[in-house]
Structure 1
Amino acid sequence: MYRPNTLKQRIARGESVYGSWSVLGSPFATQVICEAGFDFVIIDHEHGVGDHMSLGLQLLALEGSPTVSLVRVPRMDGNYMRRVLDLGAAGLVVPSVENAEEARQIVDWCRYPPNGNRGAAPGTIRASGFGVKAKEYATTANDSVLLIVQIETVEGVRNAAEIAAVPGIDMIFIGPYDLSASAGVMGQMTHPVVIEMIENVEQTAKAAGKPLGSVLWPGMSLKDMYGRGFSLIASGSDASRLHDACVADIRRFREAVEPRSDATE
């Protein structure tokens, strides 16, 4: 429910933040992520399995934790974005934004009048504590909601400068895997064409004074990414962390009980 957006404040101060994706739609998995100490979690409604009810439960699991909630919506959909914000998400990640018109539309959907046309019901929504903090939410939401747009297509790269120039867009998030797919080299995130597009967006965002976010891509470390000027890195997910831990545990078991290949009788 209502609380100041510390993630947006930290990014504005030039701090580096680190978070995890959540794709399982589970409030318990979300709580584990929070307890681990991540700065933020991106609840993924583009590729994850959750719905609005599971999202509400995940946001409940985040309460009392300093971890900040972001939600990646599945598409350009004003009604979906409004519902997510009304549930209490601190920010949105919008995939595949390709031009300034789309960026302006996102801002319009997510800001209360006079800065936009978000439906105003602060007296009833969960984001305001079901009205308990209606006045505080109504007067701060326009400034506190974090709006992040993903540039992850060739068309988006072409229009990166005008997207970054749209007032109200708080961060440019580069999607390297989708960039590789859009360029016809899917999965080849170190392909020269993909690297050139990434560098183009980096330079454009920096020139516009917009913070950068992304995921780790092959050959890059967290130190590399933050050194290049990225403010926000989202790495791994609840599903991948569970999978990796299970695989590592099974490997340890097999090493303990299976005969060594060089063993002699």
Structure 2
Amino acid sequence: MKASEVVRNIVKEKLARDEVVASITVRLVRGVEIVRLAATAGFDMIYIDLEHSTLTLEATGQICQAALHVGVAPMVRLPANTPEYIQRVLDAGALGVIAPGVRSAAEARAVVKAAKFAPLGERGAGGALPHLEYRPFPTAEANAAINDATMVIVQFECAEAVDKADEIAAVEGVDMVLVGVNDLLADLGLAGQHEHPKVREAYARTIEACRKHGKHVGVGGLSTKPKLAAEFIAMGARMISTGTDIQFLFAAMNEKAKQVREISAT
């Protein structure tokens, strides 16, 4: 068996077929049960949000390894785009990193450098990896397989990033740009105005740049605006971040409490 046959990334496979990827964000649940729920529901990708949660690296690794086992691609949004965080979450089992707040090609290159083994980057060797089921493979073969499976997703969260979309999308090793609408709107002084023309302009420019360089675009921050998300998918985006475990849990709880109140009122 070859290393490339052991490690697989369903997200990269679906993107290669020009299919849309469904993602759920984890901020609350510490246990691996969230992975089984995501897989049963039909999600392709789960990303653990270390930027906006108190989740530990230990919990992150357990969730990532469970995701590898059931065929859901585990990604991690970094709390900081530093080699120390990138190395540790990837060694823990992530198949990719989401780098928030990237503003330039230089920042994107730095993330790629930390996430990829040579010759694409400078990721350090950490021995047997969970992605390969801890099987021993020749180093060159293992590194090539991990490089191919590992994704680098950069987030656009400000006008400056959108203005530099072409040069950022051109960076070798960047696979996707995830547009963070809420932070982008805040940066533009338009907080909460999801339907503003500048949002469509930002997506149009980002999609154009990514298409030019053979990269993909993800839709973020529009979990409450499915029609708008669908519009950007029609324009060429190929991943939707559908919301967080907190949102899903609260929505179900709220609906059940509402049902009881309505029953009580009859």
1:158-197 matches, cutoff 5 A: 158-197=163-202
2:5 is aligned with 1:4: no
Looking at CA atoms only, which structure, 1 or 2, has the larger radius of gyration? 1
Match of 2:263 among 253, 256, 259: 256
Task: Give the Å deviation of 1:131.
Answer: 4.8
Match of 1:262? none
Q: Work out whether residues 203 and 232 of structure 2, in 8 Å CA contact, stay in contact via their aligned partners in 1.
A: no
2:43 is aligned with 1:41: no
Distance 1:53 1:153 in 2: 31
Match of 1:201? 206
Identity %: 32
Match of 1:146? 151
How big is each residue's C-alpha offset from its partner over 1:229-251, in whole Å with a ceiling of 9 and x where there is no partner?
Answer: 11111111111111000000011
Aligned pair in 2 of structure 1 residues 174, 16: CA closer, same or farther (>3 Å)? same
Aligned pair in 2 of structure 1 residues 10, 98: CA closer, same or farther (>3 Å)? same
Distance 1:172 1:212 in 2: 5
Is the deviation greater in 33-42 or in 243-252?
33-42
Match of 1:19 among 18, 23, 29: 23
2:109 is aligned with 1:109: no
Aligned pair in 2 of structure 1 residues 212, 37: CA closer, same or farther (>3 Å)? same
Q: Work out whether residues 103 and 166 of structure 1, in 8 Å CA contact, stay in contact via their aligned partners in 2.
A: yes
Task: Give the Å deviation of 1:153.
Answer: 0.8
Match of 1:226 among 215, 228, 233: 233
Distance 1:221 1:192 in 2: 12
Match of 2:73? 68
Distance 1:112 1:154 in 2: 31
Task: Give the Å deviation of 1:133.
Answer: 4.9
Q: Work out whether residues 217 and 236 of structure 2, in 8 Å CA contact, stay in contact via their aligned partners in 1.
A: yes
Match of 1:263? none
Task: Give the Å deviation of 1:8.
Answer: 0.8
Aligned pair in 2 of structure 1 residues 138, 204: CA closer, same or farther (>3 Å)? closer
Aligned pair in 2 of structure 1 residues 188, 131: CA closer, same or farther (>3 Å)? same
Task: Give the Å deviation of 1:256.
Answer: 0.8
Match of 2:3? none
Task: Give the Å deviation of 1:58.
Answer: 1.0
Q: Work out whether residues 81 and 111 of structure 2, in 8 Å CA contact, stay in contact via their aligned partners in 1.
A: yes
CA-based RMSD: 2.1
Instruction: Tell me the SS of whatever aligns to 1:147.
Output: strand
2:58 is aligned with 1:58: no
Q: Which runs of no fewer than 5 residues in structure 2 stay unpaired?
A: 1-5
Number of equivalent positions: 258
Q: Work out whether residues 127 and 137 of structure 1, in 8 Å CA contact, stay in contact via their aligned partners in 2.
A: no
Task: Give the Å deviation of 1:70.
Answer: 1.1
- Counterpart code for 2:48: I
2:25 is aligned with 1:30: no
Q: Which runs of no fewer than 5 residues in structure 1 stay unpaired?
A: 260-265
Distance 1:219 1:8 in 2: 23
How big is each residue's C-alpha offset from its partner over 1:115-145, in whole Å with a ceiling of 9 and x where there is no partner?
Answer: 2110012x34434434545655323111110
Distance 2:117 2:11 in 1: 21
Q: Work out whether residues 25 and 51 of structure 1, in 8 Å CA contact, stay in contact via their aligned partners in 2.
A: no
Match of 1:94? 99
Task: Give the Å deviation of 1:45.
Answer: 0.8
Instruction: Tell me the SS of whatever aligns to 1:230.
Output: coil
How big is each residue's C-alpha offset from its partner over 1:101-125, in whole Å with a ceiling of 9 and x where there is no partner?
Answer: 011111111111122110012x344
**TM (normalized to structure 2)?**
0.89
Distance 1:97 1:244 in 2: 31
Match of 1:241? 248
